[in-house]
Structure formats: structure tokens, C-alpha cells
Amino acid sequence: MPALIALELDRGSAAPVFRQIARQLREKIASRALPPGARLPPSRDLAGQLAVARNSVIEAYDELIAEGVLEGRGRHGTFVVADVFARQAIAVGPRWTPALLQRLGGSGACEPEPRTRASLDWRPGQAGAGALPLDVWRNACREAGRHLPPQGYGDPGGEPGLRRAIANWLAQHRSVNVEPEQIVVTHGTGQALHLVAQALLQPGDLCATENPGYAGSASAFLRAGA
């Protein structure tokens, strides 16, 4: 049975609805009102209960799944990660680190917390090997080894089946209507930015990037002559 969840949304708040839902779910998990292993209501049911768009609930669930707080099990539903408290501490408010307070220009009203090891590794280029169970990885490798690879590299735009699946997902979950031929599958963010820079930039064009930000974007734009 899905857990019963009582959430209260502030309709007048500037915070997006999905952020409010994600924050309250995070707080309930941190307080163990939603215990490890608890099954959350289907997105359609919770959306009806809160009188919000289903996409708002889906985005809230996706955000917590990305944080490692929830896990999706396909048709079985969405669950609180069983060992979530052992794996990470769930932050329910901002962490006032010395570096953050210094950037804000003062000591602030809150005492800075002692520096602790981050629960998540945000460095780019790191593989999240822990997200895939070892037995699943072994079975996938064993199955792949039973077949010869195709000749050549295939479609330069990416595996056609994957591009069709992406187009269908965008249509269903983001109301974006695109054809599979309009989608290009890349090796990652670096290659995607490189292709975008090649396609859109002319030598001497002005580009702006965030600071701090992803260094690969600036490199891609500079290589294109921006």
C-alpha cells in the first residue's frame, strides 16, 4: 500500500510547485514520517490529491531520485531508498559553510557548521558506479557478450531506437513534439557543447558563461573562435 502523505502547498509562493512538493517530501523522509522502504503514491494520485499538474509531482519525484533519496521501480512504484539514512544525511535547510558566508559578505545569523565530507560527489567526469547494482551490471555484460557487435558505428545521430524512445518520452512528459530525426545522441555534455558550438558560432561571436561554471563550455566556445 502507498504511504499516506499530507502535504500543504502555498499557492501564493514564488517557489515552483514541484520544489514545494520535493522539499516537504524530503523533510518527511528526514523526520522518518516516511520510513525507509515506504512506497509513495502514484504521481497521478498525488497530483489529484493536491489538485496540481501531474508533471509537478513527476518532477518532484525525479529530483529526489536524482538525489538518491527515492528510487523508481518501474510499474511497482516509487519508494524511499531503504538505506537512505546510512548513505547520506538529508539536508532540510541551507548549510552555512564558511566559504558561503564569506561570499555573502558577512558572518550571517547562523553559526557556520564544521566542514564535513560531502554526501554527494559533484565533480564532473565521475562515474556513479554505486547507482547500478553489481549483479545487474554483470548480467548486462554477460548478455552483451553473447552477440557480435554491429559492423561500423551505425547511425551518426545515435541508435534509432533510443532516439525514438527519447522523442516519445519528450512528447509524453514534457509536451515537446519532435521527430527522432531531430535528436542527436552524444557521448555527454562535452561533445554536445562542441557540436552546438560548431553549428551555431562564428569566429568573434560573444559568449557568456557562468562563474563558477562548467569549464568545458568555455573551452568548446573558444575552440569555435568565440
Asked if residues 70 and 80 have their Cβ atoms less than 8 Å apart, the reply is: yes
Query: How far is Cα 53 from Cα 57, in angstroms, rounded to an integer?
Result: 7
pLDDT of residue 206 exceeding 50, the answer is yes
**Angle at Cα 94 formed by Cα 91 and Cα 98, nearest 5°?**
120
Alpha-helical segments (H) within 69-174 = 84-87, 98-104, 134-144, 160-173
pLDDT in tens, 70-120: 888 888 889 998 776 555 555 444 444 444 444 445 444 455 455 566 666
Asked if residues 80 and 38 have their Cβ atoms less than 8 Å apart, the reply is: yes
pLDDT in tens, 9-45: 888 888 889 999 999 999 888 888 888 888 999 999 9
Whether domain 17-96 has CATH 3.30.70.100? no
Query: How far is Cα 143 from Cα 21, in angstroms, rounded to an integer?
Result: 40
pLDDT of residue 182: 94
pLDDT in tens, 168-201: 999 998 889 999 999 999 988 888 999 999 999 9
Q: Which segments of the chain belong to CATH 1.10.10.10? A: 17-96
pLDDT in tens, 127-143: 666 667 777 888 888 88
